[in-house]
A and B are shown apart, each in its own frame.
Chain A
Amino acid sequence: MTTVDASAAARVAAEFVVPAGAIAAESCGQRVLFVEPGQYLATIETLYRDGFTMCVDLTAVDYLAHAGRSVPAGVVAERFEVVVNLLSVARRERVRVRVQVADNASLASIFDIHPSSEAMEREVFDMFGIRFDGHPDLTRILMPEDWDGHPLRKDYAQGRIPVQFKGAAS
């Protein structure tokens, strides 16, 4: 659970240098940083210089159906949240960066810092429709090119096969 109390935030902040503009929090004992979309690229770069040289995962969550989620003070919850998991091999530490992305808004691509994000950002674009500015090849990756919609959005219904009963009038 995302705790927003000051002591937890202070504890996380004490262990490593929180990049300017980021809000430190703790989630299930894991280090989380909330950043503004405008600060996102700079934060990732600062963390990179700090040793977090591996972007192991980049994904997103569509909070359309869970708008009242708890976020620390100072963070405005938006519909989408892009979640970046960074790893420092030298320090054996992880940090998770969470960015709020409004509907129809785009986010800067971190491809130039972490080339590993290429496929991950394409996956998020494909599944959520979040555009990444500066991504070299922002195309769908899992769905066919002519597919309509973005399947992992919460307003995208799950497909189903209609049940047919033998001999019954439909």
Chain B
Amino acid sequence: MTVVDADARITSAGAATSEGGQELRSRGEISQKALMREAGAVLRLSESAAAALSDVAGDVGEDQSMIINMGPQHPSTHGVLRLMLELQGETVLRCKPIIGYLHTGMEKTGESLSYLQGGTNVTRMDYLSPLNNELVFSMATEKLLGIDGDIPERAQWMRMLLSELNRMSSHLLFMATNGMDLGAVSMMLYGWREREEVLRFFQKVTGLRMNHNFIRPGGLAADLPAGWRDDVLHLLDMLPPRLAEYEVLMTGQPIWRERLQGVGVITQSEALALAATGPILRSTGLAWDLRRDLPYLKYNEVEFDVVVGAHGDAYDRYAIRLNEIRESMKIVRQILERMPSGDYRIQNKKVTPPPRGRIDESMEALIHHFKIFTEGFKVPEGEVYVAIESPRGEIGCYIASDGSSVPYRMHVRAPSFVNVQCLPHMMRGGLVADAVAVISSIDPVLGEVDR
């Protein structure tokens, strides 16, 4: 195996980067077929839909349209998303997302971190729902180890509690950024304020506001702290009146409706063809939620509704997320009632380090502890794909193991990466001012798009 020195390559690439062929090209340079594809014709199969397509595209000459860049440094692109838009006046004819500005090779990094360290890596991908990232990575590792059926009850309910609270914090942040993008700046402050309440609870439980590395293969890093129940109850009591305030501020407000209704429409067949998941797919009226349809943890034992929309527009996606916060609260209340006592991690000496107290008494425990944290544990050869419902859609983790203590290949199916593909179809024929509303309604996290 010849190993090429990476340092030499970095210098040869030079300081300036060019996206070259990744960029949107002008009409004169591309074929009619490519133009139709970029316009989304490949997804619209019915004749009437294709006819409707032509009245937007028209046969604009190259001199009548203009290609402009939006981003990567644009406050409403949620990070470093760059969109190239072809405009005719104020109408968006074509759009191409250009990504990779936040690519840090996390999947490559994942190949050098042991299964115990891997959580610190994946938690940074979708930094708004770190606990869901850790959960899917841990579940994939457990499946490879063959211990996925032995995870203690309490660990599973704790994981559900954290996952649902994380969904709430992520959607609360969506409320904030969506409000900000559309000019409701006070909403931004409210959304961040409420999210911070949830993060305060996470800090109390895990020690960190974000990037927790708390859900680990085999269970969790620690038990819930004393008084956790009161903290969760405080959250559950605080949020409903605040959500009611959001309704007054936004849902019923004419300007808000005008800005979102009918904007960024996607049909169900388009969403399925583009493998869009989460609130985007549900906004088209398809009740698809992995928590209900392919249940994991204890989701089949709790009651909740899958919120769906009817129009597939930005307003539906907003309303779905707002109501998903309520559904998550409903689940959290049931978790509070049903949280069992017991172990918070599996008592499998291979995977779980011995308790701190044992290390002072037992040489073997000390050795075991040392081995697990330096070498890690070996995972049998095989490959597995596990998917769960993150706030943004289906997050999946594909791990191929060669029998050592580090994953041979670790791939994360990031919902935002796939959902961003919907942008050209949602933007088409809309106004450039609505582009911001459309990006916002996808709720992409660029850390996860680029990984």
Interface residues of A (CB under 8 A from B): 1-2, 27-30, 53-57, 59, 61-62, 64-66, 69-70, 83, 85, 89, 92, 94, 96, 112, 114-116, 118-120, 123, 127, 136-137, 139-149, 151-152, 154-160, 162
In residues 326-385 of chain B, which contact A (Cβ within 8 Å)?
Answer: 380-385
A1 & B381 in contact (Cβ 8 Å cutoff): yes
CA distance A56 to B384 in the complex (A): 15
CA distance A22 to B196 in the complex (A): 51
A143 & B103 in contact (Cβ 8 Å cutoff): yes
B413 & A61 in contact (Cβ 8 Å cutoff): no
Instruction: Tell me how far the C-beta of B292 lies from the nearest C-beta in chain A, rounded to whole angstroms.
Output: 10
- Chain A interface mostly: loop
B1 & A64 in contact (Cβ 8 Å cutoff): yes
**Set of chain B residues within 8 Å of A147, measured between Cβ atoms:** 9, 13
Question: What are 19 contact pairs spanning A and B, CB under 8 A?
Answer: A1-B380, A2-B381, A54-B275, A57-B411, A61-B409, A65-B1, A66-B408, A94-B294, A114-B273, A116-B273, A136-B34, A139-B21, A144-B13, A147-B9, A149-B4, A155-B1, A155-B2, A155-B3, A159-B7
CB of B6 closer than 8 Å to a CB of A = yes
**Set of chain B residues within 8 Å of A144, measured between Cβ atoms:** 13, 17-19, 100
* B143, B400, B450 interface centre (most CB from chain A within 10 Å): B400
User: Which 8 pairs of residues, A with B, have the shortest CB-CB distance?
Assistant: A145-B20, A116-B275, A144-B17, A1-B382, A142-B100, A159-B6, A57-B413, A139-B21
Instruction: Tell me how far the C-beta of B217 lies from the nearest C-beta in chain A, rounded to whole angstroms.
Output: 14
Partner of B5, one of A116, A154, A157: A157
B417 & A139 in contact (Cβ 8 Å cutoff): no
Interface residues of B (CB under 8 A from A): 1-7, 9-10, 12-14, 17-22, 33-34, 37, 42-43, 99-100, 103, 105, 107-109, 112, 143-144, 146, 272-277, 286, 288, 293-294, 380-385, 387, 394, 396, 398, 400, 402, 408-409, 411, 413, 417-418, 420-421, 450-451
Q: A116-B418, A139-B22, A147-B9 are in contact. List 4 more A-B contacts (CB 8 A).
A: A65-B1, A115-B421, A155-B2, A155-B4
B402 & A69 in contact (Cβ 8 Å cutoff): yes
CA distance A57 to B252 in the complex (A): 38
B277 & A148 in contact (Cβ 8 Å cutoff): no
B421 & A116 in contact (Cβ 8 Å cutoff): yes
In the complex with contacts A2-B382, A53-B272, A57-B385, A28-B108 CB distance below 8 A:
no
B286 & A89 in contact (Cβ 8 Å cutoff): yes
Partner of A115, one of B3, B43, B294: B43
CA distance A23 to B4 in the complex (A): 36
B421 & A154 in contact (Cβ 8 Å cutoff): no
**Set of chain B residues within 8 Å of A30, measured between Cβ atoms:** 384-385
A115 & B4 in contact (Cβ 8 Å cutoff): no
B400 & A141 in contact (Cβ 8 Å cutoff): no
A137 & B275 in contact (Cβ 8 Å cutoff): no
CA distance A155 to B9 in the complex (A): 14
**Set of chain A residues within 8 Å of B380, measured between Cβ atoms:** 1
CA distance A123 to B22 in the complex (A): 12
Instruction: Tell me how far the C-beta of B229 lies from the nearest C-beta in chain A, rounded to whole angstroms.
Output: 35
Instruction: Tell me how far the C-beta of B394 lies from the nearest C-beta in chain A, rounded to whole angstroms.
Output: 6
**Set of chain A residues within 8 Å of B398, measured between Cβ atoms:** 57, 59, 83, 85
Partner of B400, one of A61, A85, A123: A61
CA distance A108 to B383 in the complex (A): 23
Instruction: Tell me how far the C-beta of A142 lies from the nearest C-beta in chain B, rounded to whole angstroms.
Output: 4
Instruction: Tell me how far the C-beta of A101 lies from the nearest C-beta in chain B, rounded to whole angstroms.
Output: 14
B108 & A158 in contact (Cβ 8 Å cutoff): yes
A115 & B19 in contact (Cβ 8 Å cutoff): no
Chain A residue with minimal CB distance to B401? Answer: A1
A85 & B385 in contact (Cβ 8 Å cutoff): yes
**Set of chain B residues within 8 Å of A160, measured between Cβ atoms:** 6-7
Instruction: Tell me how far the C-beta of A35 lies from the nearest C-beta in chain B, rounded to whole angstroms.
Output: 16
Partner of B275, one of A29, A69, A114: A114
CA distance A54 to B277 in the complex (A): 10
Chain B residue with minimal CB distance to A85? Answer: B385
CA distance A48 to B396 in the complex (A): 21
In the complex with contacts A144-B17, A145-B22, A66-B402 CB distance below 8 A:
yes
**Set of chain A residues within 8 Å of B5, measured between Cβ atoms:** 157
Partner of B413, one of A28, A56, A142, A158: A56
**Set of chain A residues within 8 Å of B396, measured between Cβ atoms:** 56-57, 85
CA distance A118 to B19 in the complex (A): 17
* A57, A112, A118, A156 interface centre (most CB from chain B within 10 Å): A57
B382 & A28 in contact (Cβ 8 Å cutoff): yes
Partner of B42, one of A115, A154, A157: A115
A56 & B277 in contact (Cβ 8 Å cutoff): yes
Instruction: Tell me how far the C-beta of B277 lies from the nearest C-beta in chain A, rounded to whole angstroms.
Output: 7
CA distance A62 to B400 in the complex (A): 10
